[in-house]
Chain A
């Protein structure tokens, strides 16, 4: 499916913040923004939904801790109980350190994998950049042209107001 996109290129973070806010106020749709670094507050201005990774991380952490605690109890008290320096079979205080480590391991590694999957990143994937300098020093604001309220003239004026260094329309 092809869609027409209007793109403005900016140099400064104030400009991309201002332009994104203005675009949203006009009711246009921001397809995406490309930025060389994470601009403070841009996600809220652009109206991007917050990530759901924290929930995945929490769930994996609870799962890891629960499984490990059970496993330690099962190996030490059920499968092959051995009396080591008179410690009880269910040596709960002694099980906590490894439980904690496995919780962190599963939550951390799992969250990284979930991030890569949700962001669609994988080794060797070809990056398609809207502008060759968005990983260096340019911000690209991509606006949906299909909206009924959208007007290319107005968009060009808006971008110029926020000191855009370039604008372009293209099919994506």
Chain B
């Protein structure tokens, strides 16, 4: 069924004046970010580089969440979310940018990882796993896999706009299955490599799941925000309605709760067993200023989104769900902050200017890259056979 014309492009449908205002804002943010980057690379110490790692991992996470959402949609055969799919597709173009940031840290400032700089007497498997060339090669391999597979998914989906070929969907189901398997393996290993090995003596088997849960909740929050933005600008007026918002809200609520569950599982088991080599990780994070941040982290990532999104009408209210999405994104930044910065036991809990500048840059890059990616195709997958179901979707 064709409810939209095949040339349903961003430029033709958006309120360009309003869009330009936003885009110039993003451009200013990007300049701030670039200036911070240059200044930090020349002058900054550990705090700058951990900030760069933070925003880069955040951006990579959004790209990965985009890929995962597309894959899950194809694999489950869900119809309701088809109209929304172009947003996660556009989000996958964050991956090269975030990946670049991570590689900059790994190449230019390896001393962020204690095992790379000072003498660490690891033996056996650990010495093999945590060695610099292999570590860098793995990082490149993860990024190649992620960028390659998400490109493939996006290309097939856009192809269908032009040809209307039903096989595009079938192909993407197969690509999604392969991507999901590789995604699980690589996201888990990348979280161990990039974040857990910041404290190389500490280990936790659930760490990858925790990383995944935060990645998904921040990804969904981003989908909500970009979706509302597109609706405000025009192209998505009549595309997403309260029903879609309610479902996105449910998913956001679910993943925030999932994050809380995984967070609590890790915390409780380490608290309960109280083995010195594990407990050090949390003792540092629950005392003093770090402890306050840990509580704020739980509020932002779980308590606020959970209780606000619980009533049905709040999920359907674009202002409320938009505000919750912002809270969740700030929460994700804080969660990564708590994973990365206290690895250096001397670091103070107060965020510094580097992080602020880099976060502004992050917003700028995300907005600009998103807009550019959205321009490359119709704003909805116009010839996906399930689009009709999605547009006429009722709870």
Whether A93 pairs with B310 at a CB distance below 8 angstroms is: no
A62-103 near B? 1/0 per residue, CB < 8 Å: 000000000000000000000000100000011010000000
Q: Which residues does chain B contribute within 8 Å of A54, judged by CB atoms? A: 311-312
Cα A86 to Cα B274 with chains together (Å):
10
B267's partner among A40, A41, A58, A93 (CB-CB below 8 A) is A93
A96's partner among B264, B274, B310, B312 (CB-CB below 8 A) is B264
- Closest B-chain residue to A94, C-beta based? B272
Whether B268 pairs with A41 at a CB distance below 8 angstroms is: no
A15-58 near B? 1/0 per residue, CB < 8 Å: 00000000000000000000000001100000000000010001
A68 vs chain B, min Cβ distance (A): 17
A54 vs chain B, min Cβ distance (A): 8
Cα A94 to Cα B268 with chains together (Å):
7
Cα A120 to Cα B264 with chains together (Å):
41
Cα A54 to Cα B311 with chains together (Å):
9
Taking residues whose C-beta sits less than 8 angstroms from the other chain, chain B's interface range is 10 to 19
Cα A86 to Cα B273 with chains together (Å):
11
Residues of A in contact, count (CB < 8 Å): 8
Q: Is B122 an interface residue (CB 8 A)?
A: no
Contacts of B264-293 to chain A: CB distance below 8 A? 264, 267-268, 271-272, 274
Q: Which residues does chain B contribute within 8 Å of A94, judged by CB atoms? A: 268, 272
Cα A96 to Cα B138 with chains together (Å):
39
Q: Is B394 an interface residue (CB 8 A)?
A: yes
A57 vs chain B, min Cβ distance (A): 10
Q: Which residues does chain A contribute within 8 Å of B268, judged by CB atoms? A: 93-94, 96
Q: Which residues does chain A contribute within 8 Å of B394, judged by CB atoms? A: 40-41
- Closest A-chain residue to B268, C-beta based? A93
A155 vs chain B, min Cβ distance (A): 28
B128 vs chain A, min Cβ distance (A): 36
- Closest A-chain residue to B310, C-beta based? A58
B68 vs chain A, min Cβ distance (A): 28
Cα A94 to Cα B270 with chains together (Å):
12
B242-268 near A? 1/0 per residue, CB < 8 Å: 000000000000000000000010011
Q: Which residues does chain B contribute within 8 Å of A96, judged by CB atoms? A: 264, 268
Cα A94 to Cα B267 with chains together (Å):
11
Q: Which residues does chain A contribute within 8 Å of B264, judged by CB atoms? A: 93, 96
Q: Which residues does chain A contribute within 8 Å of B267, judged by CB atoms? A: 93
- Closest B-chain residue to A85, C-beta based? B274
Cα A172 to Cα B290 with chains together (Å):
69
Contacts of A94-128 to chain B: CB distance below 8 A? 94, 96
B271's partner among A40, A41, A58, A93 (CB-CB below 8 A) is A93
- Closest B-chain residue to A44, C-beta based? B394
Q: Which residues does chain A contribute within 8 Å of B310, judged by CB atoms? A: 58
B247 vs chain A, min Cβ distance (A): 16
Contacts of B289-342 to chain A: CB distance below 8 A? 310-312
Q: Which residues does chain A contribute within 8 Å of B311, judged by CB atoms? A: 54
Q: Which residues does chain B contribute within 8 Å of A40, judged by CB atoms? A: 394
**Extra pairs beyond A93-B264, A93-B268, A96-B264 (12, CB < 8 Å):** A40-B394, A41-B394, A54-B311, A54-B312, A58-B310, A86-B274, A93-B267, A93-B271, A93-B272, A94-B268, A94-B272, A96-B268
10 residue pairs, one from A and one from B, having the closest CB atoms: A93-B268, A93-B271, A94-B272, A41-B394, A93-B267, A93-B272, A96-B264, A58-B310, A96-B268, A94-B268
Would you give 15 A-B contacts (Cβ < 8 Å), ordered by A?
A40-B394, A41-B394, A54-B311, A54-B312, A58-B310, A86-B274, A93-B264, A93-B267, A93-B268, A93-B271, A93-B272, A94-B268, A94-B272, A96-B264, A96-B268
